[in-house]
Amino acid sequence: MPEKEIGVITHYYGKIGVGIIQLSDTLKVGDTIHIKGHATDFTQTVSSMQIEHQNVQEAKAGDLVGLKVEQKVHPNDRVFKVTP
* Domains of the chain, residue spans: 3-82
CATH topology of domain 3-82: Elongation Factor Tu (Ef-tu); domain 3 (2.40.30)
Give the other-Cβ count within 10 Å of 57's Cβ.
10
* 69-79 per-position pLDDT tens digit: 999 999 999 99
Quote the pLDDT of residue 84: 81
* 4-63 per-position pLDDT tens digit: 999 999 999 999 999 999 999 999 999 999 999 999 999 999 999 999 999 999 999 999
What is this structure's pTM?
0.95
In 3-state terms the chain splits into helix, strand, coil percentages (rounded to 5) of: 0, 55, 45
Quote the pLDDT of residue 60: 98
